[in-house]
């Protein structure tokens, strides 16, 4: 069993951090009076992988929707300084009649990229997510993991500064999920985007992130923040180390405390 990598910043860089997201005192109250979020402070820089865990219904998806611009804060300031935003949901949302390649090209097309640039971006993204050789397949011929790879590739064509993930691997079996965790870490290290990742799995949160945030029950706000001390070269064995177990235990504890 290999020891965890020494404590290090996730992406070793000496350049000043580029802030891609800054929430100050954000609240969201819906018209029916439901207060989903209250007093949320959150910053994400490029090169940071920030995961939010919290009890069901605490406002995690609402937080992500505000970050994506699909929803707006009802109080406070939600600032996103990203030219391009990637968005991956639990459902891969592929168009069933388009091939893998055509699905991956979709966002680039919608963003008005030229045919040549779209083609190249799609081929690069397909290569990055390991779908080479499957370009012509229709979504129905793909496994759940392959669909998620195609969904990831579709956003990668935009080379996002900020990537938003709403439980992207929640519906996958454990082996596929862990494999995709590793692939996403590799993409993150290669591309250096900022990430906001939502999951119900504490283990996934600790394994993937540079920082884990724990939300309280509704109205959701951040009750605890954990800097993750493991470097970018994480391998599955990390999950079996005492350091990992200790941190995961602390996050679980904070989750239970925030819940009560
Ligand atoms: N459009 C809406 N109108 C009224 N209430 C809403 C609306 N959207 C979400 N809510 C409520 O706001 C709260 C937060 O919802 P949200 O989906 O953000 O939670 P979540 O933490 O992502 O939940 P889960 O972990 O179960 O996916 C919930 O109580 C939900 O019912």
Q: What is the mean pLDDT of the chain?
A: 89
Name the closest-CA residue to atom 31, ligand 1.
Answer: 57
Residues 149 and 166 in one domain: no
Residues 122 and 56 in one domain: no
Residues 9 and 125 in one domain: no
Name the closest-CA residue to atom 28, ligand 1.
Answer: 57
CA of 22 to the centre of ligand 1 (A): 21
Q: How confident is the model at residue 260 (pLDDT cuts 50, 70, 90)?
A: low
Evaluate whether residue 147 is within a structural domain: yes
Q: How confident is the model at residue 1 (pLDDT cuts 50, 70, 90)?
A: very low
Residues 121 and 2 in one domain: no
Q: Which of 27, 29, 36 to mutate to test the pocket of ligand 1 (most atoms within 8 A of CB)?
A: 36
- Which of 119, 141, 158 delimits the end of a domain? 158
CA of 111 to the centre of ligand 1 (A): 30
pLDDT tens digits, one per residue of 27-44: 999 999 999 999 999 999
Where is average pLDDT lowest: 103-107, 156-160, 222-226? 156-160
CA of 37 to the centre of ligand 1 (A): 9
* Cα(257)–Cα(101) distance, integer angstroms: 46
Residues 169 and 73 in one domain: yes
Name the closest-CA residue to atom 18, ligand 1.
Answer: 59
CA of 158 to the centre of ligand 1 (A): 29
Judge whether residue 119 has pLDDT over 60. yes
Evaluate whether residue 89 is within a structural domain: no
- Which of 117, 136, 158 delimits the end of a domain? 158
Judge whether residue 11 has pLDDT over 50. no
Judge whether residue 133 has pLDDT over 60. yes
Residues 173 and 103 in one domain: no
Residues 43 and 123 in one domain: no
pLDDT tens digits, one per residue of 58-94: 999 999 999 998 899 999 999 998 888 998 888 888 9
Residues 179 and 150 in one domain: no
Q: What CATH number does residue 260 fall under?
A: 3.40.50.300
CA of 59 to the centre of ligand 1 (A): 5
Into how many domains does the chain fold? 2
| ipTM for this model | 0.97
Can you give the residue range of the structural domain that contains 135?
Answer: 94-158
Residues 76 and 14 in one domain: yes
pLDDT tens digits, one per residue of 218-240: 999 999 999 999 998 899 999 99
Q: How confident is the model at residue 203 (pLDDT cuts 50, 70, 90)?
A: very high
Question: Which pLDDT score is estimated for 177?
Answer: 86
Evaluate whether residue 24 is within a structural domain: no
- Which of 137, 158, 179 delimits the end of a domain? 158
Residues 4 and 53 in one domain: yes
pLDDT tens digits, one per residue of 208-220: 999 999 999 999 9
């Amino acid at each position: 069993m290999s020891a965890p990598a020494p404590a290090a910043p996730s992406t070793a860089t000496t350049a000043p951090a580029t802030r891609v997201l800054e929430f100050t005192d954000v609240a969201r109250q819906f018209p029916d009076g439901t207060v989903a979020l209250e007093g949320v402070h959150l910053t994400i820089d490029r090169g940071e992988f920030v995961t939010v865990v919290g009890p069901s219904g605490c406002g995690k998806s609402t937080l992500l929707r505000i970050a994506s611009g699909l929803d707006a804060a009802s109080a406070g300031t939600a600032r996103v300084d990203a030219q391009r935003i990637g968005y991956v949901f639990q459902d891969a949302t592929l168009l069933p009649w388009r091939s893998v390649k055509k699905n991956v090209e979709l966002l680039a097309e919608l963003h008005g990229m030229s045919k040549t640039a779209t083609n190249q971006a799609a081929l690069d993204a397909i290569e990055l997510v390991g779908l080479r050789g499957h370009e012509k397949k229709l979504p129905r011929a793909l496994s759940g993991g392959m669909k998620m790879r195609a969904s990831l590739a579709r956003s990668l064509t935009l080379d996002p500064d900020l990537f938003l993930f709403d439980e992207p691997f929640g519906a996958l079996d454990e082996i596929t999920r862990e494999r995709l965790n590793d692939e996403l870490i590799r993409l993150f290290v290669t591309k250096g985007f900022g990430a906001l990742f939502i999951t119900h799995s504490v283990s996934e949160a600790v394994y993937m992130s540079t920082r884990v945030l724990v939300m309280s029950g509704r109205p959701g706000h951040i009750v605890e923040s954990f800097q993750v001390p493991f470097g970018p070269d994480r391998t599955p064995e990390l999950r079996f180390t005492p350091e990992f177990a200790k941190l995961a235990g602390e996050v679980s504890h904070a989750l239970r405390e925030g819940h009560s």
